[in-house]
């Protein structure tokens, strides 16, 4: 089971707690995680990546196991500890303002 | 007994203010969607308990919210509020989400226009940013129009579950010449003509006013008579920074406009415009609205510009013309007459349908002022909200 930690506002939209759990068959990649979140929680479609281009929203970041996957290719395989559920995949609203 | 509901969109959430016909005591509900920008929320004339709201964020994009109980509870159209439960499917048999209520996809088939003019004169891709204005149809609660940035108009016929662009607007031959102003390039005003269901007026900053007479298939710019200092061509078809237009339903051929500078009037459904700024202390401003029962009584709030964007002399004054323009009187009773440096944004003034007519406006300082006597006197019905983006009012029988 994949664990995904969502930021506060997306948790509110999806009416879920701090983490959601996803069942993913096949390769666990950045894209497969985001695809699965959007199917499981369709109210979040368009909130993490653009509806049309599928580009990550500029102020969101994707982290896992201390590594920044924000700029990684969508087909990047995620770490084993994420796949096993030992570590969560983190969707983080980047600090912006100043 | 009639009740009054004021819908307030702010930079950090939405609020619903409630009162009775006396409009003396108010209850404040909210914030709804706390932390999100709510550019606009508006109720359906056909079903007042149906309210649409535009919720957006620089982080998470656009969300459409709907209430079917007068603003008590909200949901994204098409999503059961408890749809995360396993017993309630959220996708179709192909695995795709059942609804796309926050998807505003520009039409690339019907009118494949993909660029508009950028600040440096080059062409720039059309990019959806947010919904500025929600306009529920006069006759059908499931039909709602959305004015968006970058400038386009979308229509939903299923209560906001899905949206289709009326691409004849953006695809007008002048589309590639439209250019954003400092605040962006958005459709911010949408007015249906209740006497002619095929006719809709829209306004864009900074392109101008457009009208359709065929239900949104084709549009024509109606900006003749507008004069803008920064446009050298005195007959420019587009490029005018129109801030707001208003129409009284009993007199659909008469339009009033607050332009970047100049208050304007048209007596021929926008075919031509003439200036009615008269004795206003500043002809700059954002809002314009019309008395519910006196179609020749108009309200504006002059603002100092070009860059200050606060009331002249620090005095918050609504100006009223009972003669359809040119002759204006300052309305000050109950409004701060010193040290006031707020702004009133273009969607932040409205009128109710009671008699005497109620007038409402919200400020960037978080106050919502109301008059229950046609503007003669004012009270702050709420004082310390986040910066107000929009104010709409409903009179519920």
Decide if pLDDT at B86 tops 50.
no
Decide if pLDDT at B84 tops 50.
no
Decide if pLDDT at B134 tops 80.
yes
The confidence band for B42, taking pLDDT boundaries of 50, 70 and 90, is very high
Mutation test of the interface with chain A: which of B34, B35, B61, choosing the one with the most A Cβ atoms within 10 A? B61
Q: What does the pLDDT look like over A17-62, one tens digit per residue?
A: 989 999 998 999 999 999 999 988 989 999 999 988 899 999 999 9
- With a CB cutoff of 8 Å and minimum separation 6, the contacts of B376 are B331, B333
Is B66 in a helix, a strand, or coil?
strand
Residue A25 falls inside a structural domain: yes
Q: Cβ separation of A39 and B97 shorter than 8 Å? A: yes
CATH number reported for the structural domain that contains residue A12 in this entry: 3.10.20.30
User: Is residue A46 less than 8 Å (CB to CB) from chain B?
Assistant: yes
Decide if pLDDT at B93 tops 80.
no
Cα B29 from chain centroid (whole Å): 22
Residue A52 falls inside a structural domain: yes
Other beta carbons less than 10 A from residue A25's beta carbon: 7
pTM: 0.95
Q: Give the nearest partner residue to A46 out of B36, B96, B102, using CB atoms.
A: B102
Q: What does the pLDDT look like over B275-332, one tens digit per residue?
A: 999 999 999 999 999 999 999 999 999 999 988 999 999 999 999 999 999 999 999 9
Mean pLDDT across chain B: 93
Here the ipTM equals 0.92
* A-contacting residues in B 8-37 (Cβ below 8 Å): 35-36
Domain membership of residue A18 as a residue range: 2-93
**Mean pLDDT score, A72-86:** 96
pLDDT for A19:
95
pLDDT for B182:
83
- DSSP notation for B112-174: ---EEE-TTSSEEE----EEEEEEE-SS-TT-EEEEEETTEEEEESSTTSS-EE-HHHHTSTT
Residue A28 falls inside a structural domain: yes
User: Is residue A93 less than 8 Å (CB to CB) from chain B?
Assistant: yes
User: Is residue B305 less than 8 Å (CB to CB) from chain A?
Assistant: no
pLDDT for B85:
46
**Which residues of chain B have a CB within 8 Å of the CB of A8?**
35
Domain count, chain A: 1
pLDDT for B99:
67
Residue A98 falls inside a structural domain: no
Decide if pLDDT at A96 tops 70.
no
Whether B40 contacts B131, CB under 8 Å = yes
- Cα–Cα dist B383/B368, whole Å: 7
Residue A89 falls inside a structural domain: yes
User: Is residue B56 less than 8 Å (CB to CB) from chain A?
Assistant: no
Cα B312 from chain centroid (whole Å): 24
Residue corresponding to tokens 């102003």? B181
């Amino acid at each position: 089971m994949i664990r995904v930690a969502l930021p506060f506002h997306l948790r509110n939209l999806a009416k879920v707690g701090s983490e959601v759990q996803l069942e993913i068959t096949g390769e666990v990649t950045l894209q497969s995680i985001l695809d699965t979140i959007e199917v499981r929680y369709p109210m979040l479609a368009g909130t993490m990546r653009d509806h049309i281009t599928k580009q990550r929203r500029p102020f969101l970041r994707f982290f896992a196991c201390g590594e920044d996957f924000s700029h990684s290719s969508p087909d990047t395989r995620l770490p084993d500890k994420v796949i096993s559920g030992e570590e969560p995949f983190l969707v983080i609203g980047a600090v912006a303002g100043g | 007994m009639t009740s009054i509901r004021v819908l307030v969109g702010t930079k950090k959430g939405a609020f619903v203010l409630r009162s009775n016909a006396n409009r003396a005591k108010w209850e404040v509900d909210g914030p709804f969607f706390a932390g999100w920008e709510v550019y606009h929320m508006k109720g359906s004339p056909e079903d007042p308990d149906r309210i649409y709201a535009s919720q957006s964020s620089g982080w998470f994009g656009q969300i459409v919210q709907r209430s079917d109980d007068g603003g008590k509870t909200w949901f994204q159209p098409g999503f059961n509020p408890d749809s995360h439960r396993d017993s309630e499917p959220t996708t179709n048999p192909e695995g795709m989400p059942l609804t796309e209520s926050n998807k505003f996809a520009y039409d690339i088939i019907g009118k494949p226009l993909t660029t508009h003019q950028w600040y440096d004169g080059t062409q720039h891709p059309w990019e959806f940013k947010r919904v500025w204005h929600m306009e529920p149809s006069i006759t059908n609660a499931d039909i709602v129009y959305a004015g968006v940035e970058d400038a386009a108009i979308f229509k939903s016929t299923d209560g906001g579950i899905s949206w289709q662009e009326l691409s004849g607007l953006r695809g007008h031959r002048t589309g590639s010449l439209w250019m954003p102003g400092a605040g962006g390039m958005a459709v911010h005003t949408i007015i249906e003509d209740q006497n002619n269901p095929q006719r809709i007026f829209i306004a864009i900053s900074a392109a101008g006013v457009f009208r359709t007479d065929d239900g949104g298939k084709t549009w024509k710019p109606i900006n003749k008579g507008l004069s803008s200092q920064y446009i050298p061509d005195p007959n420019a078809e587009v490029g005018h920074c129109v801030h707001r237009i208003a129409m009284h339903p009993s007199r659909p051929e008469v339009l009033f406009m607050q332009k970047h500078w100049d208050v304007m009037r048209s007596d021929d459904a926008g075919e031509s415009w003439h200036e009615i700024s008269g004795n206003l202390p500043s002809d700059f401003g954002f809002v314009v609205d019309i008395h519910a029962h006196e179609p020749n009584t108009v309200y504006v709030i002059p603002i100092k510009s070009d860059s200050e964007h606060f009331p002249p002399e620090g005095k918050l004054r609504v100006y009223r013309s009972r003669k359809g323009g040119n002759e204006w009187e300052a309305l000050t009773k109950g409004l701060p007459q010193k040290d006031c440096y707020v702004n009133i944004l273009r969607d932040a003034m409205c009128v109710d349908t009671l008699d005497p007519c109620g007038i409402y406006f919200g400020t960037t300082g978080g106050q919502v002022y109301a008059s229950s006597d046609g503007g003669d006197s004012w009270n702050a019905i709420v004082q310390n909200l986040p910066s107000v983006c929009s104010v709409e009012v409903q009179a519920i029988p």
